[in-house]
Amino acid sequence: MAVALIPSVVPALMQGVVDPQAPPPNLGFFGPIGVPLIYTIVKILVVFTVYMVGVALLTLAERKVSAWIQDRLGPNRVIKGWGQPLADGVKNFMKEETLPADVNKPLFLLAPAFAFIPALSLWAVIPFAAPLPLPWGRMDMVVADLPIGYLYILALASLGVFGIVLAGWASNNKYALLGGLRSSAQMVSYEIAMGMSTIPILLLAGDVSLGTIVRQQERNGWHVLTLTVACFIFLVSAFAETNRLPFDLPEAESELIAGYHTEYSAMKFSLFFIAEYANMVTASALMATLFFGGWTVPFWHAVNNAPWAWWKTVITLGAFLFKVLFFLFFYMWIRWTLPRFRYDQLMSLGWKLLLPLSLGYVVVIAGATLGLDALGVPRTPVHGWPVYGLCLTAINVVLVLLLFVVADRGRLISPASARVRALELERLRAVRLRSALARRPVAAAVAAAAGRATSGAGD
Amino acid sequence: MSISVKVLTRPIDEVSYVRATMQGMALTFKHMINPHKVTVQYPEHRDALSPRWRGTHRMLTTEDGSAKCVACGLCPAVCPANCIKLVPGEDEHGNRYPLVFEIDEFRCIFCGYCQEVCPEEAIHLGRHYENAEYTRDGFVYDLERLTAQGHPVCEMWDPADPAGE
C-alpha cells in the first residue's frame, strides 16, 4: 500500500506542495483517502500496542503499590518482578478453560470481549500529544479527531456495563447474577452524575470536541481549578464506573466470591482483569483531558502552540503520560486506602448527593458564565491574564470551601446507618412480639393473661 | 421473623467524608514511601531458630553407628499423640534394641515428651522445620531415616535457666 502511494505523493513533495504544518493533502492513490489512512493505521497500531503493554504493566504496578502501602515487598522473583505480567499471561494461557453447566454459551463467551472493547474504543478520540509535522503532512496525535468526541465517550462508556451484566447473567450462577445486577444499577446511576458533571465543561468550551476542550483549558486554566466540584463528581463517578474500590460491589469478594466473573477461568478471566485496567487507563486519560489540560504543559505556551515540531510532540506526550500515570496511581492509592461502600450507601451517594450536586453545579456555572458574559469579561486572556478563568476560580474557591469544609461534617450518607427514632423502635418491637406470639398459642394465652393483668393494674 | 439489626451509635458530629479520606490517604502514602520493613526473603534468608525449637525428630547413635535406643517403651507410652510405633527386639547378649521404630510426623504434636522421657537420650526433637513430601506415607519416618538426620537437636528447658540464656 505504501509503495502504491509513493507515485502520487512524491511528485507533490518535489513540487513543495505538501506543508508539514497542515493536514496531509488528499492526493493519494485511493482517492480522498491515502496518507490519512496510513496515518490512522499507524496510530491505531502504536496506540493499541502501547495501551496493551501498559495495561499489562499496570497489573504489576497495582501489586507493587499495594505491597508498599501494606509494608510488603510485592512480586520480586521473575526478573526482579518485571517479568511478572508475562508470567501471569503465560499461566493464564496454559490454564484450563472451564465451561460450567447450563451457561448461555454465546453470551458467556462474548461477555469478556464486551467488557473490554468499549474501554479500548474510547481511546480513539483522546488527543494524547501535540501534532507531529511530517514530510507528508501534519499528523494529529489522536486516532480519530471526532468533532463529537465527548458524546462518543458518553455513548461508549455506558456500553461498558454490558460485558459485566452479560457475564453475570450468562454464568448460571447466583453470585455472578447478583454481581451483574449490582453492576447494572451502579453504573446506570453513576453514568448520570458523570454526564451531568461534565456539562459545565461544555458550557465553558462551547464545543463537544475534546481537542477544543484541551485548547480552552490551555487558554483559561485547567478545569480542575475552575470547576473543582465537577472534577470531584467526575472522579467519584469514574471510580464507580470502573468498578474500583470503594465501589467494587459487582466483585465484592467477601460477599459474592468474585461477582460477575466467578465462573470465568484462564484467559477469559484474564480478559476481565485486563478490561478493568483498560477502563482505568481510559478513565485516567479522560480525567487528564477534561480537567487537567490534556496534553498541554502549563505555563509553557511555546510548546502548546504552532508551529509544531517533533520535540514539542515528545514533551507534550510526556506531559500527558505523566498525568495519566498520576491518575492511575491515584486509583491504586484510593483502592488500598478506603473500604468498600455498602450497597445502600452507594445508591444514596449516587442519587441523593452526586446527582443533585452536579445539577446544582450546572446551574451555578451557567449563571456564572451568563453573568461574566453580560459583564463583558472576554473569554480569551487579556494581556496574558486568563481573567475569565480567574473569575471562575474565585467562585470555585468559595464553593469548595462550603462543600468540603462546612458541609462535610456531621452527615451520614446512608439512611440505614442513622439511628431509628425511639418511637419507631417501640412500634417495631411490638410488631415483632405480636407476630412471634401469634405462632405460639400457649404463649399467646399467657401473654394475653399478662396483658389483662397489666391493664388491670393500670386501671 | 425479621432480622434484628444492630444499630451503632456513631459520633455523628465527628463524621466527615472528604477530610477523613484525605487523612487515610496521607497514612497510606506515609507507609508507601517509608515502609516498615519486616519481610524475610525466606529461601535465601532464614531467621535463626531458638535453641529450644522443637522440630523434626532425630535419633542419636552410639560410636559404632547403631541407634542409642534400648527399646524401653517409655516414649510410645508417654506420647500424647500416639505417633511412635516401637517393636522391641533382643540380641544373643540380652541387649534390647528396636526392631521397628517409626514416628509419624503428621500425628506428632512436637510436645517433646519423648525426648524428655528417654533414659538413653536417644530420641530428640530437632531444630528443623522443612518437611515436605509427595505422599502421606512419606511422613512416617523409620529408624534409618531418624538416625540419618543431621540437624542440631533441641535443647530441653532447664528449670535453673528458665529464659534459656
- Band of pLDDT at residue A299, cut at 50, 70 and 90: confident
Cβ count within 10 A of residue A349: 22
B18 touches chain A (CB under 8 A): yes
Which of A132-146, A168-182, A443-457, B67-81 comes out lowest in average pLDDT?
A443-457
State residue A363's pLDDT score: 92
Convert the pLDDT of each residue in A63-93 to its tens digit: 988 988 888 888 888 888 888 888 888 988 8
Q: What share of chain A is helix, strand, coil (3-state, %, to 5)?
A: 70, 0, 30
Q: How far apart are the C-alpha atoms of A27 and A16, rounded to whole Å?
A: 14
What ipTM does this complex have?
A: 0.71
Say which DSSP state A136 is in: T
Taking alpha carbons only, the member of B20, B76, B67, B55 closest to residue B154 is B55
10-residue stretch averages of pLDDT, chain B, 165 residues long: 65 73 89 82 86 89 87 92 91 89 91 90 89 90 88 80 66
Q: How many CB pairs under 8 A join A and B?
A: 63
Which of A15-19, A118-122, A237-241, A376-380 comes out lowest in average pLDDT?
A15-19
Q: Is the pLDDT of residue A420 over 80?
A: no
Convert the pLDDT of each residue in A195-213 to its tens digit: 888 888 888 888 888 888 8
Check residue A409 and give left, alpha or beta (phi > 0: left; psi -120 to 50: alpha).
beta
Q: Which three cell numbers stand for residue A450?
A: 399478662
Cis peptide upstream of residue A307 (ω within 30 degrees of 0): yes
Convert the pLDDT of each residue in A321-359 to its tens digit: 999 999 999 999 999 998 888 887 788 888 888 898 899
| Angle (deg, nearest 10), helices A174-197 and A149-157 | 160
Q: How far apart are the C-alpha atoms of A36 and B101, rounded to whole Å?
A: 84
Task: Answer whether A273's CB lies under 8 Å from A304's CB.
Answer: no
Contact between A408 and B19 using a beta-carbon 8 Å cutoff: yes
- Band of pLDDT at residue A16, cut at 50, 70 and 90: low
Average pLDDT over residues A191-197: 88
Contact between A333 and B17 using a beta-carbon 8 Å cutoff: no
State residue A329's pLDDT score: 92
A330 touches chain B (CB under 8 A): no
| Angle (deg, nearest 10), helices A355-374 and A387-401 | 140
Between A100 and A409, whose confidence is greater?
A100
Convert the pLDDT of each residue in B119-130 to its tens digit: 888 899 988 888
State residue A459's pLDDT score: 42
Share of chain A above pLDDT 70, in %: 85
Distance, first Cα to last Cα, chain A: 103
Task: Answer whether B110's CB lies under 8 Å from B55's CB.
Answer: yes
Contact between A436 and B1 using a beta-carbon 8 Å cutoff: yes
State residue A322's pLDDT score: 92
How confident is the prediction for chain A on average, in pLDDT? 80
CA A28 to chain centre: 39
Which of A145-149, A283-287, A382-386, A401-405 comes out lowest in average pLDDT?
A382-386
A430-434's contacts with Cβ under 8 Å and 24+ in sequence apart are A432/B1, A432/B2
State residue A312's pLDDT score: 85
Alpha-helix residue ranges (DSSP H) falling in A138-227? 149-157, 160-170, 174-197, 199-205, 210-220, 223-226
Q: Is the pLDDT of residue A308 over 90?
A: no
Task: Assign A114 to helix, strand or coil.
Answer: helix
B3 touches chain A (CB under 8 A): no
State residue A306's pLDDT score: 75
Q: Which three cell numbers stand for residue B118?
A: 528417654
Between A89 and A28, whose confidence is greater?
A89
Between A7 and A63, whose confidence is greater?
A63
State residue A33's pLDDT score: 56
pTM (2 d.p.) = 0.76
Rounded to a whole number of angstroms, the CA Rg of chain B reads 26
Phi, psi of B20 (to 5 degrees): -65, -40
Contact between B16 and A435 using a beta-carbon 8 Å cutoff: no
Q: Which residue of A has its CA nearest to B21?
A: A338
Cis peptide upstream of residue A133 (ω within 30 degrees of 0): no
Average pLDDT over residues A106-118: 87
Contact between A333 and B29 using a beta-carbon 8 Å cutoff: yes
Taking alpha carbons only, the member of B57, B30, B48 closest to residue B131 is B57
Cβ count within 10 A of residue A234: 28
Average pLDDT over residues A185-197: 87
Task: Assign A336 to helix, strand or coil.
Answer: coil
CA A359 to chain centre: 19
State residue A28's pLDDT score: 52
Check residue A297 and give left, alpha or beta (phi > 0: left; psi -120 to 50: alpha).
beta
Task: Answer whether A295's CB lies under 8 Å from A128's CB.
Answer: yes
Nearest-CA distance A337 → chain B (Å): 6
Q: Which residues pair with B142 in a beta bridge?
A: none
State residue A124's pLDDT score: 86
Q: Is the pLDDT of residue A456 over 90?
A: no
- Sign of the dihedral defined by the CA atoms of residues A343, A346, A349, A355, in that order: negative
State residue B108's pLDDT score: 92
CA B150 to chain centre: 17
Task: Assign A134 to helix, strand or coil.
Answer: strand
